[in-house]
Structure 1
Amino acid sequence: MNALLKSLPLLLATSTALAAPHQHGQAYLDMVLEPPTLLISISSPLANLTGFEYQPATKEEQSRWEQVKQDMQTPDLLIRLPEDADCSLSRVLLQSPFATAGAHDHGDHGDHGDHGDHGDHGDHQHADLMAEYQYVCARAEALRQLELPIMQKYPDIERLRLQFIAPDRLHRIDINAGQGHVELP
């Protein structure tokens, strides 16, 4: 197995951790390609997605939180890869901001640890949501553009900071509100 592929989880975690302080209105999309594997990580302050950053307290907040988790389990609702790349989703990992230490949402296995008591309604609380997706792409060279429905679905994301790492290229692109398409140079 190639060294880049072995280090993909670390690269994604590091790039997200180093990205910037928690900033409402901004989210991060990190992509690492080591053909045929493509890893994608989306990280955002929870407020961009739900309108709040604490454990849901009302039925309305719980409903909104459940919808966000469902959306994050369906990456085509957030980012669409070119059909020519022939990519198949092989894994989904959702890291819940409300999980107890060490607990994560995995794939389609439902909720794990979303009932921890980590937040209150105070302004000092910050919560981020991160989703990771792994694909196998039969024609990875066709990954030259992306559709980004996440920008319309979650209008509180004013800027999406895209980082794309591939064996032959490294690009950082800022995508602003209203942009639903991006070319990967």
Structure 2
Amino acid sequence: MTFLSHALGALAFTGLAATMPLAASAQARAHVHGQIKLDIAIEGPTVVIEMESPLDNFVGFEHAPKTDAEKKAAADAVAQLRAADQLFKIDPAANCKLGPVTLRSAALGLGKAEAGAEGHADLDGSFAFNCTKATDAKFIELGLFNAFKGLRQVDAQIVTPDGQSKRSLKRPNARLSWGGGK
């Protein structure tokens, strides 16, 4: 069993899967340019971030890259997302290190992505962090706004052992906090 499947299984076990659309189908999702949805779960020694986003937020288009410029934009975006510890800087109190990163996009040929509605392509991801004190985390500094200029809003659902919360951030605010985080 992989780390991510274990973490997601733990969410289902605790009954949180019903409140977090971790396995939502592409058709069931709202596809809003400039907006990213994050589901953040802190469970045991792990922090798992599930991301749903239109491809346009990262590369400025919603189709398989055709030109050299589009191919470079796609490659650059994928490289930035794979370096997730630069985009999601978890509260140092949790002492986290980046674990497995999985990206999914039918348009980019990544992972087992579901095709979106015609004319709409997504780039979704799973980012796992292994921590020595995950439950001490009270915030994540998001580097997404700096990295991706088309992004205007982040909507997050956060589940910790202490409860659930929802947060929205709009550019330029970059700190996603919960449980007393500043």
The TM-score with structure 1 as length reference comes to 0.78
| 1:36 and 2:30 are equivalent in the alignment | no
Please state how far the C-alpha of 1:16 moved relative to its aligned partner.
7.9
Q: Deviations over 1:113-153 (max 9, x none)?
A: 9xxxx89xxxx510111111112211123210111110121
Amino acid across the alignment from 1:98: A
The question of whether the paired residues in 2 share the 8 Å contact of 1:152 and 1:180 is answered with no
Structure 1 pair 18/174, CA: closer, same or farther in 2 (3 Å)? farther
Please state how far the C-alpha of 1:13 moved relative to its aligned partner.
2.2
The question of whether the paired residues in 2 share the 8 Å contact of 1:155 and 1:177 is answered with no
Aligned equivalents of 1:82, 1:21: Cα separation in 2? 30
Aligned equivalents of 1:19, 1:149: Cα separation in 2? 27
Structure 1 pair 52/146, CA: closer, same or farther in 2 (3 Å)? same
Please state how far the C-alpha of 1:72 moved relative to its aligned partner.
1.1
Give the 3-state SS of the residue equivalent to 1:128 in structure 2: coil
Question: Which position in structure 2 is the counterpart of 1:110?
Answer: none
Please state how far the C-alpha of 1:7 moved relative to its aligned partner.
4.3
Please state how far the C-alpha of 1:176 moved relative to its aligned partner.
0.5
Structure 1 pair 23/31, CA: closer, same or farther in 2 (3 Å)? same
Aligned equivalents of 2:27, 2:133: Cα separation in 1? 30
Aligned equivalents of 1:133, 1:162: Cα separation in 2? 14
Please state how far the C-alpha of 1:99 moved relative to its aligned partner.
5.8
Structure 1 pair 182/99, CA: closer, same or farther in 2 (3 Å)? closer
The question of whether the paired residues in 2 share the 8 Å contact of 1:145 and 1:183 is answered with yes
| 1:128 and 2:122 are equivalent in the alignment | yes
Amino acid across the alignment from 1:53: E
Question: Which position in structure 1 is the counterpart of 2:162?
Answer: 168
Aligned equivalents of 1:139, 1:15: Cα separation in 2? 29
Aligned equivalents of 1:19, 1:71: Cα separation in 2? 27
How much identity, in percent, do the aligned residues show?
27
Aligned length, in residue pairs: 167
Q: Deviations over 1:52-95 (max 9, x none)?
A: 00011100000000001111111023111122211122211111
| 1:104 and 2:141 are equivalent in the alignment | no
| CA-based RMSD | 2.9
Amino acid across the alignment from 2:149: P
What runs of 5+ residues in structure 2 fail to find an aligned partner?
1-5
Please state how far the C-alpha of 1:8 moved relative to its aligned partner.
3.9
Question: Which position in structure 1 is the counterpart of 2:137?
Answer: 143
The TM-score with structure 2 as length reference comes to 0.79
Say which is worse superposed, 63-72 or 38-47, in terms of deviation: 38-47
Say which is worse superposed, 26-35 or 5-14, in terms of deviation: 5-14
What runs of 5+ residues in structure 1 fail to find an aligned partner?
106-112
Say which is worse superposed, 164-173 or 16-25, in terms of deviation: 16-25
Please state how far the C-alpha of 1:38 moved relative to its aligned partner.
1.6
